[in-house]
Amino acid sequence: MKYLRSEDRLLDIHIPPPYSPELNPVELVWSVLKSGRIGRMALKTKDSFSMLSVQG
């Protein structure tokens, strides 16, 4: 990690805080899915998850 920080030619490294839902848009999606009907269901296939997530 020290090497990466010392190299100016490489990409910048930005380490987000441990929990930052406002910086991670998928957190909003998961909170909506978990709070609704899908969060309480045992889904067996990806297709059933996709179908229910589109329906809301």
Q: What is the pLDDT of residues 1-56, one digit of tens each?
A: 677 667 767 677 777 777 777 777 888 888 877 787 777 778 788 888 788 777 75
In the block, tokens 């229910």 appear at: 52
Q: Are the C-beta atoms of 39 and 33 separated by less than 8 Å?
A: yes
Q: What is the pLDDT of residue 10?
A: 64
d(CA 56, CA 44): 18
Q: Are the C-beta atoms of 21 and 27 separated by less than 8 Å?
A: yes
Return the structure tokens found at 44.
């067996």
Q: Are the C-beta atoms of 42 and 31 separated by less than 8 Å?
A: no
Taking only Cα atoms into account, the Rg of the chain, rounded to an integer number of angstroms, comes to: 18
The pTM assigned to this predicted structure is 0.38
